[in-house]
Chains A and B, each alone.
Chain A
Amino acid sequence: MSPLHFLTLSPFLLAAVLPLLGKMAPRLHKGWVAAVWSAILFMTLIGYSAEIQAGSPINESLAWIPSLGISFTLYLDGLSLLFALLITGMGTLVSIYSIGYMNAAENSLNRFYVCLLIFMGAMLGLVLSDNLLTLYGFWELTSVTSFLLIGYNHAKQRSRYGALKSLLITMTGGLGLLSGFILLYIMSGTYTIRELFEAGAPLASHPLFLPAMLLILFGAFTKSAQYPFHIWLPDAMEAPTPVSAYLHSATMVKAGLYLVARMSPIFAGAPEWFWIVSLGGLITLLYGSVTAVKQTDLKGILAYSTISQLGLIMCLLGLSSLTGLMEGEERLLYAAAGTAALFHLLNHAVFKGSLFMIAGIVDHETGTRDIRKLGGLAQVMPIAFTISLFGALSMAGLPPFGGFLSKEMFLEAVIEPLHAGVFRLETWGVLFPIIAWIASVFTFVYSALLVARTFLGPRKKELQHSKIHDAPFLMTFPPALLGVLALVLGLFPSLAAYSLIAPAVEAMMPIITASGERLSPDIKLWHGFTPALWMTIGVVAAGTLLTLTARKWTRVYTFFPSKFSISGFYDVSLNFFERLTFRVTSLYMNGSSRSYIKYILGFMLLVLGFILFNSADITFRVGAYAQIAPYEWLILLGLAAAALAVPFTKSRPVAIILTGTVGYLMTLMFVFLRAPDLALTQMVVESISVTLYLLCFYHLPKLRTEQRAVRFQLPNFLVAVAVGILMTLIALAVLGTNPFEPVSDYYVRESYESAGGKNIVNVILVDFRGFDTMLEIMVLGVASLGIYNMIKLRRKATDVGSRQVMHEGEFAEEDAAEMRKSQYGYDGPEADFNEQAEEETAESDSPAKGGEENA
């Protein structure tokens, strides 16, 4: 176990002991534990950065399932380090913030921080894994923790809805991802990312190359909320604000971007990769920014803004995939797109984190996040106002903030494809700058609206009371730090460029380092009157105009009814599938165990019959069988006759005596078949059984005759006869084949030699298979305990209904409809459970009728 492994797994360990810590120090806010530990992790990772910058990644391997080629390999290079620092750094700030945000009195704080820590560990594992399968495992773990954290306020119906939505969509993507990884394995024979890079060109010509790429992109797009899979992210805003800031803007949603960047060396250069990633990103960018403008919830704006910004980064990653196709100067231009992508990723985490925290503070202070009810808060919350101004300016892409630099680099990068000369970009490439510009205008508009509607203008009457003021230090410090960081990144971009961004870009594009070059990211605040700068000036002009006239545009923004949205489609199809599944399931799951036995037998018939008729080496032997004496004929025929008579008799005692007859005839058979021990045992057992049965009737005379004999039922009859024939065939088939040396000779030989017994059967039972016999005795013991309890213990009627939950499957159609209504009318499943629980208690109050009489 290397330090790197410990670093990755430590959040899990901490999550495991956190509840115990809570017991030992009940007054300590658990947030401190998370904050301190993530700060330690952050510092440790900083310690690695010099090594990474020098170009020597760290590789630590731990064998896990060597037979399947799965090892727990961790690989820390520039790209992983950038993400790991984001995860731990934001983790520290968010934990500190949450100490102020989360009420310490809540009992569920343990749950919150356990989930948060597990998420942090999973995220670290995701970005550090060098094995595709461990990466996948951590990937899914982030989805699960995200689900738990979105549903943190599980009493709220919207929370549950959002949690389920995010889980369904990201997990579907996760399954796609897994399939893609498996296809990669089929192509290359390895799960190790490093070895996949070395597999190189032959992969690209493989027929599975495109399916693998599409599946992996599906996973990445769902996770990173790219259009049209973005619909879960706005609903995920039901999570507590620290979670939104951490998972749904800074880290988890960037896992998809990480994956695209990580897989770039394998897929970059393929036209499909370029078009899907860059156009998918571009569409998401435009859609997100336009939709953000019409949101009224602070966190809604931020959610769509996140979608939009993720699209921007995705688009840049797509553009940077052209690097490998270029030569010399050109190549560096496209590498710059990669630099821009990762730099914007960092910027986005910084400004979006601060804005989310401010939104949380506003919510905390005023009790609302609706911008229609907010306004004029700048006077009472000057600090929050300043911070949000920093964040929003960076988001809008204005100097001198970090967002300005990466936005400029983005605009430069989208102009580039016009003269790329590959993939017929000279015609369609013109789309890039146009859409990018329009999206930037809307980005400017929503950034401006976000600040203006919250902090400027007249204060609403409800907000006039004096209780509203700036948040306490613990809540203000993290966003303030991020706001300052947004400014620092703008003024001194080289701070991050050389130590963080350049190694990460090099890791993303090994083709650059392969030719011996080192990337020198040249990020400057002032770079002359470039086309990008003119575009920015245009953005500011158009954006200001739109912002000032925003109220006039409301009609346009709300033109499309939400019913026809993708989210509406999700609701309808989910509803449809639930109905369908319910109907199909209730067709065969009717709650009767006899039906289930029929299914099992039918399946057995199919499988065994199929094998029997398809195996070439099963033969039916003729001749060389044992002789059969006339009296044996008699016994066997009597056996069959007695058995066949059982279903035809009306009287229960007769049925029992017939079964007893079969048993006694079996005893005789055992005698003739040279099995004296069996005969003795069968004799005793049969006598006791029959006595027991008849004793039963002595006590319950009414039970003697049934109203009717067994009613003939054709399906049952067919199943029974088919099984009978199959068993006969199997018996004959076994007689005809003899693939193995029988083991019995060993027992015959060793019975006296080793065990000193002359009755071989007895020796096998008590010596060779002694444990079997002991367990057999245990079965008898358990059965007798059960019988004793049934007879002696007269519980009150409460136990009658305990099995009823199983029979819920048979509820009628209208019950089901009601249940669905309650689910979709958002009364939620709890309502059902409560109802059920009530019934159960009601039932325990009213004694069942049999219970009292017998007691």
Chain B
Amino acid sequence: MEVIVAIIVGVLFAVGIYLILTQDLLRIVLGTSLLTHAVHLLLLTMAMLKTGAAPLLDRGQEQFADPLPQALILTSIVINFGITAFFLVLSYRAYQKLDTTNMDWLRSESSRHRGHSR
């Protein structure tokens, strides 16, 4: 299963990066979301998958799945949420102000405000 997940990690990374390199602000935000998912899967895979039960002590189990990556990922999910929300509102406001979410137009738009129309 690890090999399959590793390939999925690769796919998610590729799509995420491709989205980040596009012009559209919203796609960039989506790209960061996909990247985060990729990193989460990568962390889980690195610790080997399904090595035991869920890391809860009161179930009478002896073998557990590695709890450390899970803790790291939990932190990451929450932070990613904060950042996604921030980016989203940022692009929302940028659109409201400048009428576009295209990165290239954003630049030329703001230079037009300076009187450098190019």
Contacts and interface: CB of A to CB of B under 8 A. Distances in A.
Interface of A: 591-592, 594, 597-598, 601, 625-628, 632-633, 636, 639-640, 643-644, 646-647, 652, 655-656, 659, 662-663, 666, 669, 673-678, 681-682, 685, 688-689, 692-693, 696, 699-700, 703, 706, 710-711, 713, 716-717, 719-721, 723-725, 727-728, 730-732, 734-735, 742-744, 747-748, 751-752, 758-761, 764-765, 769, 772-773, 776, 779-780, 782-784, 786-787, 790-791, 797, 800-801, 803-804, 807, 839, 842-843, 846, 848, 850-851, 854
Given A659-B30, A723-B13, A666 B67 contact: no
Interface string B4-46: 1111111111111111111110110010011001101110111
Contact of A597 (B20, B23, B107): B20
Contacts of B115: 839, 842-843
Given A625-B3, A643-B15, A681 B74 contact: yes
Nearest to A803: B110
Contact of A747 (B6, B41, B68): B68
Contacts of A627: 1, 50
B65 A673 contact: yes
Nearest to B99: A850
B98 A850 contact: yes
9 contacts: A633-B4, A636-B5, A647-B22, A662-B34, A666-B37, A724-B11, A735-B45, A780-B79, A784-B82
A701 B108 CA distance: 24
Interface of B: 1-24, 26-27, 30, 33-34, 37-38, 40-42, 44-58, 64-68, 70-71, 73-75, 77-86, 88-90, 92-93, 95-99, 101, 103-104, 107, 110-111, 113-115
Contacts of B95: 700, 703
Contact of B113 (A659, A720, A764, A801): A801
A742 B65 CA distance: 12
The 7 lowest CB-CB distance pairs between A and B, nearest first, are A724-B14, A728-B10, A850-B97, A783-B82, A720-B18, A731-B6, A674-B65
Given A663-B33, A735-B46, 19 more contacts: A594-B21, A626-B2, A640-B11, A673-B49, A674-B53, A677-B70, A685-B80, A716-B21, A716-B22, A719-B21, A724-B12, A724-B13, A747-B67, A779-B82, A780-B81, A783-B82, A783-B83, A783-B86, A800-B97
B46 A734 contact: yes
Given A666-B40, A706-B24, A748-B64, A716 B18 contact: yes
A597 B21 CA distance: 8
The winner among B46, B75, B101 for most chain A CB atoms within 10 A is: B75
Contact of B17 (A644, A719, A851): A719
Given A681-B74, A731-B45, A780-B82, A839 B114 contact: yes
B30 A854 contact: no
B85 A692 contact: yes
B22 to A, nearest CB: 5
Contact of A594 (B38, B67, B103): B103
Contacts of B16: 643, 720
B109 to A, nearest CB: 9
B93 A646 contact: no
A713 B21 contact: yes
Contacts of A601: 17
Given A721-B14, A765-B71, A851-B97, A751 B57 contact: yes
A735 B6 contact: yes
Contact of A804 (B48, B53, B110): B110
Contacts of B77: 678, 681-682, 685
A800 B110 contact: yes
Given A626-B2, A790-B89, A804-B110, A764 B68 contact: yes
